[in-house]
Amino acid sequence: MTGNTFGSIFKLTTFGESHGLAIGGVIDGCPAGIKINLDAIQKDLDRRKPGQSSIVTQRKEPDEVTLFSGIFEGKTTGTPIGFAIQNTNQKSKDYSHIKNTFRPSHADYVYEEKYGIRDYRGGGRSSARETASRVVAGSIAKQFLAPITINAYVSAVGTLSLDLHPSKVDVLEAEKNIVRCPDSKLASEMESLIKKVRKEGDTVGGVVTCIIKNIPVGLGEPSFDKLHAELGKGMLSINAVKGFEYGSGFSGTKMKGSEHNDLFNPDGTTQTNHSGGIQGGISNGMDIYFNVAFKPVATIMQNQETINSQREKVAMQGKGRHDPCVVPRAVPIVESMAALVLADFHLRKRNNRI
């Protein structure tokens, strides 16, 4: 299996499966001398961890990270940062029903066909448990990037959506409720919807919006490694993601150029920001904002028709502990992938000019 490394200078390689001994990673290329706040890393992990509230999977994992290398006396040393998070609350027997049967719309079938062998326990490598390692690295990248700020929040669950432009959102409000939606009234409607869907043994999708502030001009490498292209890749590499749009996105197609153009102020800032802070694949100094669409995840507690490894039609019902809606837990993952992209471009920018 290839494809376990992300980034070109600030690089993260992850390892591990859902029900193995541990998951973890190696961050290579992180510059020396960055002050690291370990509590901030743990705080981000706690925002992603299972069992954190009544609307997420009830798998109970403390998700405490052990850092093995690369940090000394509170600062990065420039050497590889190795880390691991133990898996402690596996219930592998909950997954024996998918040993020879494929959950519709999960990764079971393609892993089996591609590799001929599959660790089916908890979804193995295809489980979003892997994203905890991204959060560790992303949290370190965020600390490297300060004063750039990266904040994500839930802007939709099913058909309930926040009708407020990201530039007007108070992102800190989002962390005050378990859904992570900055509008508390809408958050409680979303919570009720998630609980209703869970009761029905079903799942529901949603949207995570991210806003990045204090960005310098010049991040992004045309032609192929445009800033929005790498952000898109980072986001689309997150489990269950089905869509990515930045700036005016798909709604921009309904505007005319005369409405869509961001007119300049004399200092180079723009009066509007339909471009989402990126032009020609390069940050222009305005806020970057984008939406990430998550599907209703595959494992439902209802009977569904599927096939087994003998290609026979069989009935299956989901078992085990699953998320009825992943967006509340996906918020720190989206921030982390954004941080990894920006950290990498920050280092690549150093080569741009003498």
Task: Decide: is 331 part of the binding site for ligand FMN (CB under 6 A).
Answer: no
* Minimum CB distance to ligand FMN smaller for 298 or for 347: 298
Q: Minimum CB separation from ligand FMN for residue 172, in Å?
A: 22
Q: Minimum CB separation from ligand FMN for residue 238, in Å?
A: 6
256 vs 176, 221, 261, 274, CA distance in Å? 38, 28, 9, 12
Q: Which of 329, 332, 339, 341 binds ligand FMN (CB under 6 A)?
A: 329
CA-CA-CA-CA dihedral for 10, 15, 17, 18, to nearest 10 = -40
Q: Which of 76, 90, 101, 126 binds ligand FMN (CB under 6 A)?
A: 126
Q: How far is C-alpha 322 from the chain's CA centre? A: 17
Segments in 247-288 forming alpha helices (H)? 257-260
Choices 76-84, 146-154, 321-329, 337-345 (CB under 6 A): range interacting with ligand FMN: 321-329
With CB under 6 A as the rule, give the number of residues binding ligand FMN. 20
Evaluate the omega torsion of the peptide bond into residue 31 and state whether it is cis, within 30 degrees of 0: no
What does residue 48 show for φ and ψ, rounded to 5 degrees? -95, -20
Burial 26-41 (b: 16+ CB within 10 A, else e): bbbbbeeebebeeeeb
* Minimum CB distance to ligand FMN smaller for 155 or for 239: 239
* Minimum CB distance to ligand FMN smaller for 195 or for 348: 195
- Beta bridge partners of residue 149, listed in sequence order: 213
* Minimum CB distance to ligand FMN smaller for 219 or for 235: 235
Task: Decide: is 106 part of the binding site for ligand FMN (CB under 6 A).
Answer: yes
Q: What distance separates the 2 farthest-apart alpha carbons in the chain? A: 68
Question: Scanning residues 43 to 62, which ones bind ligand FMN (CB under 6 A)?
Answer: 57
User: What is the token pair recorded at 168?
Assistant: 């007007």
| Cα dihedral across residues 142, 143, 144, 149: positive or negative | positive
Task: Decide: is 343 part of the binding site for ligand FMN (CB under 6 A).
Answer: no
User: Which string of x and - marks every residue 203-242 that binds ligand FMN (by CB under 6 A)?
Assistant: -----------------------------------xxx--
Contacts with 177 (C-beta within 8 Å, 6 or more apart), sequence order: 184, 187, 188, 191
Choices 29-37, 150-158, 301-309, 328-336 (CB under 6 A): range interacting with ligand FMN: 328-336
* Minimum CB distance to ligand FMN smaller for 30 or for 107: 107
C-alpha angle with apex 292: 274 to 323, nearest 5 degrees? 155
Question: Scanning residues 253 to 312, which ones bind ligand FMN (CB under 6 A)?
Answer: 295, 297-299
Binding site for ligand FMN (CB under 6 A): 57, 106-107, 126-128, 131, 238-240, 295, 297-299, 322-323, 326, 329-330, 333
